[in-house]
Amino acid sequence: MSDFNIQIPTVAELTAKGEKPDVLFWVGCAGSFDDRYKKVTKAFVKILDKVGVKFAVLGEEETCTGDPARRAGNEFLFQMQAMANIQVLNGYEITKIVTACPHCFNTLKNEYPALGGDYEVVHHSTYLQELIDQGKVTAKEGDFKGKKITFHDSCYLGRANNIYEAPRKVLEILDAELVEMKRCKTNGLCCGAGGAQMFKEPENGKKDINIERTEEALDTGAEIIASGCPFCMTMMSDGVKNKEKEGQVVVKDLAELIAEAEDLI
Amino acid sequence: MSLLSQLFFLILLGVSAFFIGRRILQIRKNILLGKEEDRTDQPQRRLKTMLLVAFGQKKMFKRPIAAFLHLLIYVGFLLINLEVLEIVLDGLFGTHRLFAPLLGSFYPVLINFFEFLVVGVIFSCVVFLIRRHVLKISRFTKIEMKGWPTMDATLILVIELVLMVAILAMNGADQVLQTKAVAGYPVTGAFFFSSIFIPLFEPLSANTLIIIERVAWWGHIAGIFAFAYYITYSKHLHIFLAFPNTYFSNLKEKGEIKNMDNVTNEVKSMLGLPADPPPAEIPRFGAKDINDLSWKHLMDAYACTECGRCTDSCPANTTGKVLSPRTIMMKTRDRAEEVGESIRKGGAGLEDGKSLYGDYINKEELLACTTCNACVEACPITIDPLSIIIEMRRYMAMEESSTPQSWNAMFQNVETSFAPWKFPPTDRFNWAQDVKAKISDQ
Ligand code: SF4
Ligand code: SF4
Q: Quote ipTM for the complex.
A: 0.95
For A72-109, what is each residue's pLDDT tens digit?
A: 999 999 999 999 999 999 999 999 999 999 999 999 99
**DSSP label at A190?**
P
- Residue with CA nearest ligand 2 atom 8: B307
For A56-81, what is each residue's pLDDT tens digit?
A: 999 999 999 999 999 999 999 999 99
Residues in Cβ contact with B46 at an 8 Å cutoff, skipping those fewer than 6 apart: B39, B247, B248, B249, B251
Residue A190 C-alpha to ligand 1 middle, in angstroms? 9
Helix (DSSP H) and strand (DSSP E) numbers for chain A: 11, 8
CB A79 within 8 A of CB B267: yes
Q: Would you state the pLDDT for residue B439?
A: 43
Q: How many other C-beta atoms can be found within 10 angstroms of the C-beta atom of residue B61?
A: 14
- Selection from B2, B3, B1, B8 nearest residue B221 by Cα: B8
Q: Coil, strand or helix: which one is B294?
A: strand
- Closest ligand to C-alpha of residue B389 is 1
**What is the signed CA dihedral for B375, B381, B382, B384, rounded to 10 degrees?**
-50
Any idea which of A222-226, B281-285, B433-437 has the lowest mean pLDDT? B433-437
Q: Cβ of B273 and A83 within 8 Å?
A: yes
For A22-35, what is each residue's pLDDT tens digit?
A: 999 999 999 999 99
Q: Report, as an integer, the average pLDDT of B288-306.
A: 98
Residue B306 C-alpha to ligand 2 middle, in angstroms? 5
Q: Is the CB of B304 under 6 A from ligand 2?
A: yes
Hey, is the C-beta of A40 within 8 angstroms of any chain B C-beta?
A: no
Q: How many CB pairs under 8 A join A and B?
A: 222
B436: confidence class by pLDDT, cuts 50, 70, 90 = low
Residues in Cβ contact with A240 at an 8 Å cutoff, skipping those fewer than 6 apart: A214, A218, A225, A246, A249, A250, A251
Q: Report, as an integer, the average pLDDT of B255-280.
A: 84
**Which residue in A75, A109, A192 is closest to B315 by CB distance?**
A192
Q: What are phi and psi of B71, to 5 degrees?
A: -60, -40
Q: Coil, strand or helix: which one is A244?
A: coil
Please state, in angstroms and rounded to a whole number, the distance separating the CA atoms of residues A66 and A64. Answer: 5
Helix (DSSP H) and strand (DSSP E) numbers for chain B: 19, 0
For B385-398, what is each residue's pLDDT tens digit?
A: 999 999 999 999 99
Q: Would you state the pLDDT for residue B279?
A: 55
- Burial pattern B47-56, b for ≥16 Cβ within 10 A else e, equals eebbeebbee
For B192-223, what is each residue's pLDDT tens digit?
A: 999 989 999 999 999 999 999 999 999 999 99
Q: Would you state the pLDDT for residue B283?
A: 75
Residue B158 C-alpha to ligand 2 middle, in angstroms? 22
Q: How many other C-beta atoms can be found within 10 angstroms of the C-beta atom of residue B42?
A: 11
Query: Does position A158 have pLDDT exceeding 90, yes or no?
Result: yes
**pTM of the predicted model, to two decimals?**
0.94
Residues in Cβ contact with A253 at an 8 Å cutoff, skipping those fewer than 6 apart: A37, A40, A43, A100, A226, A227, A228, A233
- Selection from A185, A195, A67 nearest residue B316 by Cα: A195
Q: Is the CB of B379 under 6 A from ligand 2?
A: yes
- Report the residue of chain A nearest B264, measured CA to CA: A79
- Residue with CA nearest ligand 1 atom 8: B314
- Closest ligand to C-alpha of residue B326 is 2
Query: Does position A128 have pLDDT exceeding 90, yes or no?
Result: yes
Q: How far apart are the first and last CA of chain B?
A: 106
Residues whose beta carbon lies within 6 Å of some atom of ligand 1: B 314-316, 323, 325, 369-375, 385-386
Q: Cβ of B253 and A31 within 8 Å?
A: no
CB A41 within 8 A of CB B430: no
Q: Which helix (H) or strand (E) holds B229?
A: helix B206-231
Query: Does position B38 have pLDDT exceeding 50, yes or no?
Result: yes
Hey, is the C-beta of B315 within 8 angstroms of any chain A C-beta?
A: yes
Q: Cβ of B414 and A209 within 8 Å?
A: no
